[in-house]
Amino acid sequence: MRAVLGSVQRHFSLERSPRALALLVGFLAITWLSSAPILLARDDGKESEAFRLTEEECERVESLFHASKVTITPDCKVEVFYDFEEDGDLIIEDWRPPVSAKKGVIRPASGGDGASEGVSGMIIADTGEWFLHARFLPEVKVDVSFLSFTGGAKKDAVCTVFAWNKLKQRIGSNLGEQGVLLVGKSVAAPVGGSAPTISYEQKSEFGFSLAEGTFSWTTRGRERGSTSSKKALRRLGPGQVGLVWAGRVSGCIRTFRVEGTLDLDWITDEDEGIAKRHREWEKKRKAVEKKGR
Give the tens place of pLDDT for each residue, 236-254: 999 999 999 999 899 999 9
Say how far residue 172 (Cα) sits from the centre of its chain.
15
Contact between 258 and 142 (Cβ < 8 Å): yes
21-71, pLDDT tens digit by residue?
A: 455 445 444 443 333 343 333 444 444 578 999 999 999 999 999 999 999
- Topology classification of domain 72-263: Jelly Rolls (2.60.120)
Q: Which of 48-57, 93-102, 128-137 has the lowest mean pLDDT?
A: 93-102
Give the three-class secondary structure for 188. Answer: strand
User: What SS3 string covers 88-139?
Assistant: HHHHCCCEECCCCCCCCCEEECCCCCCCCCCCCCEEEEEEEEEEECCCEEEE
Global confidence as pTM: 0.81
- C-alpha to C-alpha distance for 226 and 215, rounded to whole angstroms: 5
pLDDT higher for 26 or 122?
Answer: 122
In this prediction, residue 33 carries a pLDDT of 35
**DSSP output for 142-161:** EEEEEEESS---TT-EEEEE
